[in-house]
A and B are shown apart, each in its own frame.
Chain A
């Protein structure tokens, strides 16, 4: 048994320039350099990416689904933030 386990890293890949980095999965590695090398082998064997970010999982702070109500529900009744809320006559074009 190894005395110390390799930490977990989250992998983000930009599939091509112009697109954002997207979460692809995670993997274990001793350090950031190794995480990058492993991510290249595990997640980009078929030209899936042109750029990789690695972040050690413990550095990610995530919202808790239990708080989804207070976090996300208030947006649901704010229909006035959408263009369809506003009445405009049919003959008005390009709006």
Chain B
């Protein structure tokens, strides 16, 4: 194809997105669009899969049956979300095995929030309330993104996600209204998860390298800083309901902006964790790769059994 032809195809493609038309798997798309989507959708899928680890660890230690079934259902949803997203990603011409390979070798990233440890039961509350809360803010605009399979997967994800946040908040509420020790547990979890949750919404706008292109492709509808402000503004009143204190001495209502001002985020910590030096990076990958490797014989056996059944059926048909 000549450069002239490619330019004309690209012009046409960009106009379609501006008109809010969706792009579907077999449509022509610029190579950069394909690669950016593979990167973002797979990171998103990996985050769901790795995100099961900190919570899965608490299923057997949930304090009641009610809490246990809820947490179990939430973790199962996360597996489901990972699967919706992996299959959306595969429509771009990458295989599931390649995607796993990228995760397991560290070539692909996942949300760095999961590299923090879940130390107490209150962390199940804080993760649902804050981490899922921040995730929802990130994800809702994606229901309108330009790539059809991603948008459809996100609609399903968002529908299921609000239960996650409410179950987390309920855990926090119960602890915050419990014994002084329980309230302290809740406050401690908020103290540890608050700043990493703010970091989840990504680097500040002046440091974010993909924002401009992603806005054009509707992979992003709001900038990281706008999303972060939205998260803070809606979460602070929720902390008030809980009677807990957000661990930021600079946090205060700005009457003029009709928004909260907040303190400096420790971006050095963020980049350290992204680069693999968070408290749990090694542990998470060890658990994930280990599970994958220990499952090899099961996957092989299922395939062998399927082939045996098929062969038997064919023989009977003759």
**Interface residues, chain A, with chain B CB atoms under 8 Å away:** 1-6, 8, 25-28, 30-31, 34, 41-42, 45-46, 62, 64-66
User: Nearest CB to that of A48 among chain B residues?
Assistant: B156
A59 to B308, CA, bound (A): 21
Contact B296 A1 (CB under 8 A): yes
Contact B300 A46 (CB under 8 A): no
**Interface residues, chain B, with chain A CB atoms under 8 Å away:** 24, 26-28, 73, 76-77, 80, 83-84, 87-88, 90, 95-97, 152-153, 160, 296, 299-300, 302-303, 305-306, 309-310
Contacts of B306 on A, CB cut-off 8 Å? Answer: 30-31, 34
Contact B309 A27 (CB under 8 A): no
**Could you tell me the distance in whole angstroms from the C-beta of A25 to the nearest C-beta in chain B?**
5
**Could you tell me the distance in whole angstroms from the C-beta of A13 to the nearest C-beta in chain B?**
12
**Could you tell me the distance in whole angstroms from the C-beta of B95 to the nearest C-beta in chain A?**
7
Which applies to chain A's interface (DSSP): helix, strand, loop or mixed?
loop
- The verdict on A30 contacting B305 (CB below 8 Å), with A6-B299, A64-B26, A65-B24 known, is yes
Contacts of A41 on B, CB cut-off 8 Å? Answer: 76, 80
Contact B296 A2 (CB under 8 A): yes
Q: How many pairs of A and B residues are in contact by the CB < 8 Å rule?
A: 58
Q: Beyond A2-B296, A31-B306, A42-B80: 14 further Cβ-contacts under 8 Å?
A: A1-B296, A2-B299, A2-B300, A2-B303, A5-B96, A5-B97, A6-B299, A8-B90, A26-B87, A27-B83, A30-B299, A41-B76, A45-B76, A66-B28
Contact A30 B302 (CB under 8 A): yes
**Could you tell me the distance in whole angstroms from the C-beta of B15 to the nearest C-beta in chain A?**
16
Contacts of B300 on A, CB cut-off 8 Å? Answer: 2-4
- Chain B CB within 10 A, most for which of A4, A30, A46, A65: A30
**Could you tell me the distance in whole angstroms from the C-beta of B317 to the nearest C-beta in chain A?**
16
A45 to B303, CA, bound (A): 25
- Please pick, from B77, B153, B310, the residue contacting A25 in the complex, using a CB distance under 8 A: B153
Contact B24 A25 (CB under 8 A): no
**Could you tell me the distance in whole angstroms from the C-beta of B33 to the nearest C-beta in chain A?**
15
Contacts of A64 on B, CB cut-off 8 Å? Answer: 26
A34 to B84, CA, bound (A): 17
**Could you tell me the distance in whole angstroms from the C-beta of A61 to the nearest C-beta in chain B?**
12
Contact A46 B80 (CB under 8 A): no
Contacts of A1 on B, CB cut-off 8 Å? Answer: 97, 296
Contacts of A6 on B, CB cut-off 8 Å? Answer: 299, 302-303
